[in-house]
Chain A
Amino acid sequence: MPFDANDDVPDEALLVLFANGDSAAARALTRRLTPRVMAHAYRLLGNRAEAEDVAQEAMLRLWKQARDWRQGEAKVTTWLYRVVANLCIDRQRRTRGGSVALDAIPEPADGRASADETLQERARAEALQAALNDLPERQRQAVVLRHIEGLANPEIAEIMEITIEAVESLTSRGKRALSAALAGRQEELGYVDER
C-alpha cells in the first residue's frame, strides 16, 4: 500500500490495523501524527531537540497502547496531546526553564514570501514562543491548544482533564499575559499599521 494511501482513514482505524501488524498503517500514522506531536512538544518546551525526544517517546507510547486501545473512548490525537503535555511537564520540572533556540524555528516552505516578510514572520513566531515560555505551564498549554492548534474548548477540557470554564479562564489569563509581554514589541515586529 502506498505510504499516504490512508489519508481518509481515521486515526483510530489505522491504529487497529497497526495493532494487527499492518506495516502500511504504521507508516501512515508515523507520517500523519509525528509532525503534530513534534510541533506541540516544541511549543510547550521551546526547544527543538527536546521536542524531538518527547515526540519519539509519545509515539512509542502510542505504539505500545495500540493493542489495548479502547475504541470510542478518546480520539488518538486527544490522547497524544495529553501524553505530550505530561512528558513536557515532567521534563520542565526536571530541567526547569525552556529555551528558544533561534535557529530552531524552521524556514517557511512558502517561497513566494519576500525575504523581509519571511524574516518578520519568523521574528513574530520567535517572539511569541519566548513569551509562551514565560507563561505558567497550564496557561501555555491551554493557549497553544486553543489558538495555535485550533482545538475547541470541549476537546481542550478533555485533554487537560478540567472543565470548559477552567479552560476559558486559563486561555484568557494566558492571552492577557502574552499581550502584556508582546505589547512593547508590536511596532518592532511590523504591527504599526494594523493597530
Chain B
Amino acid sequence: MSMSDKQRTGDGLGGFFEAARGHAPTPSPDLLARVLADAEATQQPARLPSTSEGLVVRLYRLLGGWPAMAGLATAALTGIWIGTALPEGLIGTAEAAYLVDITPEMAFDLAGGEF
C-alpha cells in the first residue's frame, strides 16, 4: 500500500511505513528451532498419554471427573437413606396402620385358617 497509503495518510509517512514493511526483521533459525522445541515439549502429553495412571484414576476421568462422581455419590447416599430411614411424612396414618410386619403363621390365623 505504498502510494495509496501515502496518499491516504497525506502526511508523508507512507514511504516510511513502506520501508518498515520491506525491512521486517525475520526470525533467526535458532529462534524457530526454540519455538518448535517448545511446541513439541507442550505436545508431548497429548501424544503419549501416561500409562502409569491407575485404573481408578482412568475410570474417574472416563466417567467425567469430579462432577460426575459427585452426582453418583449423591444418588448412592440418597438410596441408602431412603432404604434405612423411611420418612414418616411420606406415609399417611391410615396406610401406616396396615404397615405391620407379621409372620406367615400369624397371617394364616388372621385369615381364619384359610389361604
> Chain A interface (Cβ within 8 Å of chain B)?
18-21, 23, 26-27, 29-31, 34-35, 38-39, 42-43, 48, 51-52, 55-56, 59-60, 63-64, 66-67, 104-106, 108, 110, 121-122, 124-125, 127-129, 147-148, 150, 175-176, 178-179, 182-183, 186, 191, 194-195
Contacts and interface: CB of A to CB of B under 8 A. Distances in A.
Q: Nearest 9 CB-CB pairs, A to B?
A: A124-B19, A63-B42, A125-B23, A26-B39, A21-B47, A128-B16, A21-B46, A39-B24, A125-B19
A20 B43 CA distance: 8
A178 B13 contact: yes
Nearest to A131: B16
Contacts of B1: 150
B15 interface: yes
A145 B46 CA distance: 34
Given A124-B15, A194-B6, 18 more contacts: A26-B43, A34-B31, A35-B26, A42-B24, A42-B25, A48-B25, A56-B38, A59-B38, A63-B39, A66-B42, A124-B16, A128-B13, A129-B20, A148-B20, A179-B13, A186-B12, A194-B12, A194-B15
A73 to B, nearest CB: 21
B38 A178 contact: no
Interface of B: 1, 5-6, 9, 11-13, 15-17, 19-28, 31-32, 34-36, 38-40, 42-43, 46-47
A103 B58 CA distance: 55
Nearest to A65: B42
Q: Is the interface of A mostly helix, strand, loop or mixed?
A: helix
Interface centre among A30, A60, A178, A195, by most B CB within 10 Å?
A30
Contacts of B22: 108, 110, 121, 125
Interface centre among A104, A125, A186, by most B CB within 10 Å?
A125
Contacts of A122: 19, 23
B35 A59 contact: yes
A159 to B, nearest CB: 18
A125 B9 contact: no
Contacts of A42: 24-25
Contacts of A23: 40, 43, 47
Interface centre among B9, B26, B27, by most A CB within 10 Å?
B27
B16 A60 contact: no
B46 A34 contact: no
Given A108-B22, A147-B17, A182 B12 contact: yes
A128 B20 CA distance: 7
B23 A27 contact: no
A51 B68 CA distance: 46
A52 B19 CA distance: 21
